[in-house]
Amino acid sequence: MEALTPNTIPRSGQDTAKAPKRKRKGGFWSTVLQQKYLYLMSLPFVIWVFVFSYLPLWGWTMAFQNYKPARSFSEQKWVGFKYFHELFQDDRFYLVLRNTLAMSFMGLILGFVVPIFFAILLNELRGMFFKRFVQTVSYLPHFVSWVVVAGIITKMLSIDGGAVNQILMALHLTDEPIQFMAKGNWFWYIVTGSDVWKETGWNTIIYLAAITGIDPELYEASRVDGASRWRQMWHITLPGIRSTISVLLIMSIGHLISIGFEKQFLLGNNLVTDYSEVLDLYALNYGLNMGRFSYGTAIGIFNSVVSIILLFTANGIFKKVTKESIM
């Protein structure tokens, strides 16, 4: 863009003296004319975003109506904030909110620390073949569906010949096999643990890519100055991928509340519902499945508002602390 603007100066230069305001307007249109191909090329994407991300917001009106399907907009009955009232008065809502936030915070912390750590360790490996091999093996679980992963986890933790219990028994750490899946307060850890197992390798890729972008001269210089491997990691590698880390962190904070429900749905059972039910599952059970579309929409709006607040807060804090921002 910058490169193109100088061309527009001579043309608009004529009426500079008369009307500075008009000059700007004319400047814009001539810019458009100059860059018409760029504008044309971006237009489909603008439309796409508008149609798929902004137009559906119209559906938010449902939350304020007693919505019945197959009736026109004017036939719906308006009820104001009734469904939000109902939502904030339901004890279960606070319970599922707690579960959602607890599991996503745990997931966020481990989901960041472990892949970064892993990426740095991989980067320090000398043998190219071994490095590639480890990397491939570690990201393969990403492609396994949660249904299968849940099956593997339940089987591993089963008391009926599950590998984990057999190891614990063989080491004499316990006498009785432990029912991992029946303990509510362990559920969060099981979910977080399986998430780390499944996604670590995949999340590592982006950090590895960022590390390759670091200038090798920096390492050489530090070696000349006598820096150890640990010093190099701490003073060169980590600062080198700092901006990648902060961008990804801010974006994940925005998604904190919408963690989906597959893991919890597939790993949970009746004994642990107090710990396993998350917001999305609650919206499905008490909203869509009962045909209460308005209530479901109210939950959706709450979700989006919280996400936006989280995103802006996180971005604001980062801006202050690190002078970096994604917006």
Partner 1 sequence: MPKKAFKVTAISLIIASMLAVAGCGGGKEDTAAKDTGDTTSPITFSFFGADASPNWNKMQDEVGKEITAKTGVTINAEYAVSGGGQDKISLMAASGDYPDLIFAKGDVNKLVDAGAMLDLTDLIDKYAPNLKKVYGDYMDRLKYSNDDQAIYVLPTNAAVNQQYFDAGGGFEIQNAVLKELGYPEVKTVKDFENVLKAYKEKHPTIDGQPTIPLTLDADDWRIMITVTNPAFLATGAPDDGEYFINPQTYEAQLHYKRPEEKEYFRWLNHMYNEGLLDKETFVQKSDQYKSKISSGRVLGLIDQEWGYSDAENALKSAGKDERTYAHLPVTLSEEYKDHSFQDTGFTSGWGIGITNNCKDPVRAIKFMDWLASDEGQVLINWGIEGKHYNVEDGKRVIPQEIQDKKINDASNFTKTSGIGLYTIFSAHYGDGVKDPSGNYYTTNFPDQIVASYTPAEKETLKAYGATTWKDLFPSEKDFPVKPWGAAYNISVEEGSDYTVTYQKTQDIIRKRIPEAILTTPDKFDAVYDNMIKELNAAGAEKMEQQYTELVKDRVELWGGTTEAK
Applying CB under 8 A, the residues found at the interface with partner 1 are: 24-25, 28, 32, 46-47, 50-51, 55, 68-71, 92, 151, 154-155, 158-161, 179, 181-182, 269-271, 273-274, 284-286, 288-295
CA distance 149 to 195: 10
- Give 181 or 299: the residue with its C-beta nearer to partner 1: 181
- In the chain, the amino acid numbered 86 is E
DSSP of 219-251, one letter per residue? HHHHHHTT--HHHHIIIIIHHHTHHHHHHHHHH
Nearer to partner 1, 92 or 255 (CB): 92
Tell me the closest approach of the beta carbon of residue 24 to partner 1, in angstroms.
7
Residue 75 DSSP class: G
> Please, what is the minimum distance in Å from the beta carbon of residue 236 to partner 1?
39
Alpha carbon of residue 244 to chain centroid: 14
The candidate with the shortest Cα–Cα distance to 153, out of 177, 185, 180, is 180
Q: Where are the alpha helices (DSSP H) in the chain?
A: 5-12, 20-34, 36-49, 82-89, 91-124, 128-139, 146-157, 163-170, 184-212, 216-224, 229-232, 238-240, 242-254, 262-267, 273-276, 279-286, 293-322
* DSSP state letter for 13: G
Task: Give min distance, CB of 68 to partner 1, in A.
Answer: 6
Looking at beta carbons only, is 243 or 289 nearer to partner 1?
Answer: 289
User: Nearer to partner 1 by C-beta: 92 or 131?
Assistant: 92
The residue (of 61 and 154) whose beta carbon lies closer to partner 1 is 154
**Distance in Å, CB of 283 to partner 1, minimum:** 12
Distance CA 251, CA 316 (A): 13
Cα four-point dihedral sign 245, 247, 250, 253: negative
Q: For partner 1, give the closer residue by CB, 55 or 173.
A: 55
Nearest to 57 by CA among 305, 314, 288: 305
**Nearest approach, Cβ of residue 239 and partner 1 (Å):** 34
| 207 or 275: CB nearest partner 1 | 275
Q: How far apart are CA 311 and CA 326, in angstroms?
A: 10
Q: How far is the CB of 10 from partner 1 (least distance, A)?
A: 20
What is the C-alpha separation between 246 and 290, in angstroms, rounded? 41
CB of residue 325 vs partner 1: minimum separation in angstroms? 19
